[in-house]
Amino acid sequence: MTIYFSVSSEGFYNSEAGVPIPDDAIEITEDEYKHFLFSMNEEGNILVLEDGELVLKPRQHQASWGMIRKTRNKLLSQSDYTQMPDWPGNKTAWAEYRQALRDITTSFSDPNEVVWPKAPNV
């Protein structure tokens, strides 16, 4: 069996799988495959082609405003109960936290620099 990695599809292929192997696929050894796969899955790295060789690089996690809004909305939804009339906790602290969540998209100009507010103790 021969193992390949395709940079364009970011996928591994083997000659026995019966799947078409992309034209840009590069043959790798079984030891390289194990090393690359571990590094990609466990350490979050990506494989890139540099000067004709596959090289592991740290994945650049780029946040988007869509991701920020999704997280913010989830946090707001999870804390809705704190604003119910019969909830016995500190409504003021939770209202301030929830407002800080709402203000994130106007308080930061770059989604990669967002600092999430800390939720009050329940």
Which tens digits make up the pLDDT trace of 5-45? Answer: 998 888 999 999 989 999 999 999 999 999 999 998 888 88
One DSSP character per residue, 74-88 reads HHHHHTGGGGSTT--
The percent of residues in the chain predicted with pLDDT above 90, rounded, is: 70
Measuring CA to CA, how many Å separate 87 from each of 69, 95, 120? 26, 13, 14
From CA 64, how far away is CA 109, in angstroms rounded?
11
User: pLDDT value at position 60?
Assistant: 73
User: pLDDT value at position 122?
Assistant: 62
Model pTM score: 0.52
Higher pLDDT, 4 or 121: 4
From CA 24, how far away is CA 58, in angstroms rounded?
22
The residue extents of the domains of the chain are: 3-58, 65-113
